[in-house]
Amino acid sequence: MLNYNFQIIYEDSNLIAINKPEGLASIHDKNGQEKDLQTLLQEKLKIKIFVLHRLDKEVSGIILYAKNSSTHKFISKQFENRSINKTYLALVHGIIKEKSGLINKPIKEYGSGRMGINQNGKESKTYYRLLKNYSNHTLLELNPTTGRRHQLRVHLYSIDHPIVGDLRYGEKDIQKNFPRLMLHAKSISFNLTPTKKIFLEANLPENFTTLLKSLE
């Protein structure tokens, strides 16, 4: 059953930040067949909600929405000039031994909606830091400096360490054994106003922590 429950991390008259559960779309579905977070917020707040960025449906974690056009314009400009810092947690297949590294591979969108590494694609950079090695998996902290669709999923798949539970990028026979995509948008920092910087963090959901504990 789809989880319509979500935690409000931060809210003021201009902005709202949500800890999105996995399985809930970030923006309005063109077909309108399923509820999405944007619509749920608009129903709850009784105002128009402006999309600032997106999280894949399968991804949990922090996401921002503006409550007015001026805030939408101000924060969107920060996304465009890459001054917003985003941190993700990902559990990947295999053992990564390097303490940190950079995946610098261009990404291109294909007709099927699938993304892939292609020299004619758009510049895409993902920094990673090793958090913990398990027997057959690795927990990483990820900092993308670009915001391509499926960037983290494609980049990790490209180095033979697909994210656990990713049915799109990975061997389905293996990935289907996990309850979710193990990717979580942990934190974000940005300028709330021209003179005020803000840092927001989203707690890991229970199904994420439970799977991590099962690997101990």
56 is catalytic: yes
Tokens of 8: 């409000």
Catalytic residue among 56, 160, 166, 173: 56
Contacts of 139 (CB under 8 A, 6+ apart): 89, 90, 91, 92, 130, 131, 132, 133, 212
Residue type at 16? I
CA angle 201, 124, 64 (to 5 degrees): 30
Catalytic residues: 56
